[in-house]
Structure 1
Amino acid sequence: MPLLDLATRLARSAAYAIEAIRAAGCAVDEKRDGSPVTEADRVAEALIVEGLRAATPDIPVVAEEEVAAGRLTECGALAWLVDPLDGTREFAAGRLEFTVNVGLIRNGRPWLGAVAIPAKGEMFRGIIGVGAWKQDATGDRAIAARRPPPAGLTVLASRHYQGDPKLAPFLEGRHVAEIIYIGSAEKFCRIAEGVADLYPRFGPTMEWDTAAPEAVLVAAGGRVLGFDGMPLAYGRAGYKNPPFVASGA
């Protein structure tokens, strides 16, 4: 699994760099679209992108901050999609819910991915058709998405869309035990490891937000579908995702 090992190694190195910057403190700037960006975003992306291009020069790399700066890369049959710091708002607010996402798509679909949660010392990784794993202070182990428990669904929702009027109608008629609001791709990881069940996303996301965590979740037995019931497509012009639902087994 050399490509997964590469993604994992670079995601981990970026996580260490982000934690060092978080400890020292950094300013929050604003991109042209009004979204926040920090030194941690830039440093982590440079580390990951340089590592990917050095190790796999024939595979295109699409990275969030490069795209924001106007560097557009055509995806081929294989392409890396990189979000160096998913959940910059959480990072800037001093919360722990931010991730590093390094995903590889193949023929327009996620194939493998590594997702680090730097502040919690967790690493999730997976290859679709092979398996998914979580590494933390207790060791490295296989993970699997669960079937909904009798107590009801644990639903994860975006912290920044708590007032979304679409959520209640979507959940109507479902047996829901609790709704937890958190940020970043961590939501995919919690479903992948079998501690949550459903994540509906009504607001905008980009392909680099979801490629790596979708690979982990699908490798763990879950799925991600648009509201039309179709899998998300990757490598499209503009890199924007439609609304979707991530779920367990």
Structure 2
Amino acid sequence: MQDVSRHPIFQALQKIIHDAADAIMDIYQRADLGIEQKTDDSPVTAADLAAHRVILAGLQALTPTIPVLSEEGIVTYEERSQWPMLWIVDPLDGTKEFIKRNGEFSINIALVENGAPILGVVYLPTTTEGYFGVTQSWKDLPVGAFKWQGDEYESINVREPREPIIAMTSRSHGPALPASLKNKLKQSYEQVRELPKGSSIKGCRIAEGIADLHLRRGPTSEWDTAAQQAIIEAAGGMLVTPDGKPFRYNQRETLLNGHFFVSGVELAPYVMNWYLENEEEE
């Protein structure tokens, strides 16, 4: 994907996210990760804060007129409601995985316009895999989803479902795939397997056609999903609410998301019908 790799916006974002990854990995190698508890009792480390500073400085230099909403730099709704376009950033998605030192964490950067994610970048520091998705052209960037690792670039797309169906599940949050949903899928696909991973890796694996489905019940925040949603949509997939509506961002006072699932178009009806049948249990 040389057209993407040579584009100045992509190169600038790639450098920002690589620099943030370097800051994270420097701290990852230390005995002391600088762990503290935030007011909501979620953990934050020195790496979260170091990556936040790198990304904030990089985005402000790249696009001085576009504000940044970061997990580590919250602003009031009164202020951000005036932003038709903004960057939404998770400097270290998967802090619990980072603390466990299992390598399953990512950096998420999304550009949102009028609530819709139009560009997303996700980078996995421990594997040096990067994902880039554009849902509508901005600054002449081509629409589509791409993966890079080192100097290798490739287009990615969600796959048509085939056996075994691979369902991504959370490493640290929530239950595995519900048995009732697994049974519904098995009406058409005999083999359904689960693959646990942390952070936005789950959505990226679906975007690149390695897995088929991720169901998330339980709280996430807008910075957890915005970047991967852009990549998934650019790859031909869906990150949607139980009734099939795409998430929209910076539209409410709360930054918490509701339930969602990620899949290709073919599997979405199975999940939406399952939700309808089980909504009393939710």
**Residue from 150, 153, 174 that aligns with 1:140:** 153
Name the amino acid aligned to 2:261: V
Q: Is the 8 A contact 2:106 2:124 kept in 1?
A: yes
| Number of positions where the alignment pairs a residue of Structure 1 with one of Structure 2 | 245
Q: Which residue identity does 1:170 align to in structure 2?
A: L
Q: In structure 2, what is the equivalent of residue 224 of structure 1?
A: 239
CA deviations over 1:107-128 (Å, ceiling 9, x no partner): 1011001100000111111101
Q: Report the AA paired with residue 88 of structure 1.
A: T
What is aligned with 2:121?
A: 114
The normalised TM-score by structure 2 is 0.82
Counterpart of 2:47 (choices 30, 40, 50) is 40
Q: Distance in 2 between matches of 1:203 and 1:131?
A: 29
Shift of 1:185: 0.4
Q: Secondary structure at the match of 1:172?
A: helix
CA contact (8 A) 1:7 1:113 kept: no
Once the two structures are TM-superposed, the CA of residue 36 in structure 1 deviates from its matched residue by 0.7
The Cα of 1:162 is off from its aligned counterpart by: 5.1
Q: Does 1:212 align with 2:224?
A: no
Alpha-carbon spacing, 1:139–1:80, altered in 2? closer, same or farther (3 Å): same
Report the secondary structure of 2:209's partner residue: coil
Match of 1:205, as an amino acid?
Answer: T
Structure 1: which 5+ runs fail to align?
Answer: none
Structure 1 partner of 2:210: 195
Per the alignment, residue 182 of structure 2 pairs with: 171
Deviation of 1:106 after TM superposition, in Å, equals 1.1
User: Residue 22 of structure 1 aligns to which amino acid in structure 2?
Assistant: Y
Which structure has greater strand proportion? 1
Dislocated runs of 4+, deviation >2 Å = 1-9, 70-73, 161-164, 166-172
* 1:155 counterpart residue number: 167
Does the 8 A contact of 1:132 with 1:144 survive in 2?
Answer: yes
- Partner residue of 1:52 out of 59, 78, 84: 59
Deviation string, structure 1 residues 158-183 (Cα, Å, up to 9, x no partner): 1123536x722333310342101111
Gaps of 5+ in 2: 1-6, 137-142, 266-282
Q: Secondary structure at the match of 1:9?
A: helix
For 2:280, the equivalent position in structure 1 comes to none
Q: SS at the partner of 1:211?
A: helix
Matched ranges for 1:54-133 at <5 A: 54-67=61-74, 73-75=79-81, 76-129=83-136, 130-133=143-146
Larger Rg: 2
For residue 141 of structure 1, what is the amino acid of its counterpart?
E
SS state at 2:161 partner: coil
C-alpha distance in 1 between matches for 2:76 and 2:8 = 27
1:24 is aligned to 2:35:
no
**Identity across matched positions, percent:** 38
Tell me the C-alpha RMSD between the 2 structures.
Answer: 1.8
Alignment pair present for 1:11 and 2:17: yes
1:7–1:103 Cα contact (<8 Å) kept:
no
Q: What amino acid is aligned across from residue 157 of structure 1 in structure 2? A: T
Counterpart pick for 1:247 among 250, 260, 263: 263
Q: Structure 1's 203 and 189: CA in aligned 2 closer, same or farther, altered over 3 A?
A: same
Q: 1:4 to 1:207 in 2, by over 3 A?
A: farther
Check whether the contact 1:4–1:112 (CA below 8 A) recurs between aligned residues.
Answer: no
* Separation (CA, whole Å) in 1 of partners of 2:135 and 2:27: 33
Deviation string 1:72-100 (CA, Å, 9 cap, x unpaired) is 65052211000000000000001111000
Q: What TM-score, normalized to structure 1?
A: 0.92
CA–CA separation in structure 1 for the residues paired with 2:12 and 2:124: 17
Aligned with 1:58: secondary structure? coil
The superposition leaves residues 118-172 of structure 1 with CA deviations (integer Å, 9 ceiling, x where unpaired) of 00111111101511111114711111110101x13100011123536x7223333
Of stretches 38-47 and 3-12 in structure 1, the one that deviates more from structure 2 is 3-12
User: In 2, distance between residues paired with 1:170 and 1:235?
Assistant: 31
